[in-house]
Amino acid sequence: MSLSKFIKFLPTTLLFFLGFITFFFFQYSLHLSYFILAGWVLLFLSIQFCGAYFIGLNFHLISLNKLNTNQKQVLLTFDDGPHSPNTVKVLEVLKKHNVKAVFFVIGKNIPGNEAVLKQIIAEGHQLGNHSFSHHNFIDVWPTKKVTADFAQCQTLIESYQPNQKLFRPPYGVTNPNLAKAIKQLQLQSIGWSIRSYDTSIKNVEKIKLRILSQLKPGAIILLHDRLDFVPELLEELIPAVKDKGYEFVNSV
């Protein structure tokens, strides 16, 4: 059984404060070293960081990080669009290979790219909410502001694809305020099981091999349709995935 099922934000935080209080309760009588307290705080902060950064731990909220299947099926997901012309180029490759995907769009990118959004839907792909602003400091915003931002994007998405409730946190980072916003808006958080790191690696062959080495039934693959080289990557990746006996689906 996975340890991550037991390490969650609330019990971890309560345990930390219990340990903090216990230290000072016994510190005088047992002459406890403050190095113990420092280690306890460091452990707590490390757990908090990992819980926020690694969405697959489901620390703050439950995300769907792989498909509920044992079949050789995978899901392609794209973040940060719509982008012109790169999203259109991605769509061309997907259509060529008869592959459907989920596009997690940023609300502020929709104005001026309405035709791209309509093309995504017309060609059988799903939309997902990736926030309206994708602001650099959205992770430290209060709950009310975060909720308003997500709701603004959600309104736009549902005007194109009604009742669409898929959501992916900006940067994949989670926290209590974001969890409250997602719950209030009744969205389904979607994570991933394969992070391509296409925003940093930049090498098509390396990214392809990284993804192929992690392929498992139900894998959810994270890519970014705004990047110039992603259409080229897909031209190589899709046939390679199919050669391993996998099929692409776009239903979660």
Please provide the size of the chain in residues: 252
Which tokens in the block code for residue 200?
Answer: 């940093």
Which residues contact residue 121 at a Cβ distance below 8 angstroms, ignoring those fewer than 6 apart?
127, 160, 161
Which amino acid makes up residue 77?
T
Query: Token digits for 148?
Result: 């308003």
Q: Find residue 212's DSSP bridge partners.
A: none
The alpha helices in 80-202, defined as continuous H runs, are 86-96, 114-122, 143-160, 176-185
H and E: helices and strands count for the chain: 8, 8
Residue 45 pLDDT: 93
For Cα atoms 115, 117, 121, give the angle at the middle one, nearest 5 degrees: 115
Q: Which residue has the tokens 């349709």?
A: 225
Task: Round to whole Å and give the CA distance between 157 and 153.
Answer: 6
Instruction: Using the CB atoms, write b or e for 170-206: b if 16+ within 10 Å.
Output: bbbebbebbbbbbeeeebbbbbbbbbbebeeeeebee
Contact by Cβ (8 Å): 207, 201: yes
The pTM for the full model equals 0.91
pLDDT mean for each 10 residues of the chain (252 residues):
62 88 87 90 92 92 96 98 96 98 98 96 97 95 97 97 96 95 97 96 96 98 97 98 96 83
Q: Name the residue ranges covered by the structural domains of the chain.
A: 3-53, 73-249
* 247 contacts: CB under 8 Å, gap ≥ 6: 72, 73, 74
Residue 79: active-site member = yes
Q: Is the dihedral of CA 205, 206, 209, 215 positive or negative?
A: negative
Q: Which CATH class is domain 73-249?
A: alpha beta
Which one is catalytic: 60, 79, 80, 149? 79
CA terminus-to-terminus distance, the chain: 23
83 flagged as catalytic: no
Out of 60, 83, 130, 224, pick the active-site residue: 224
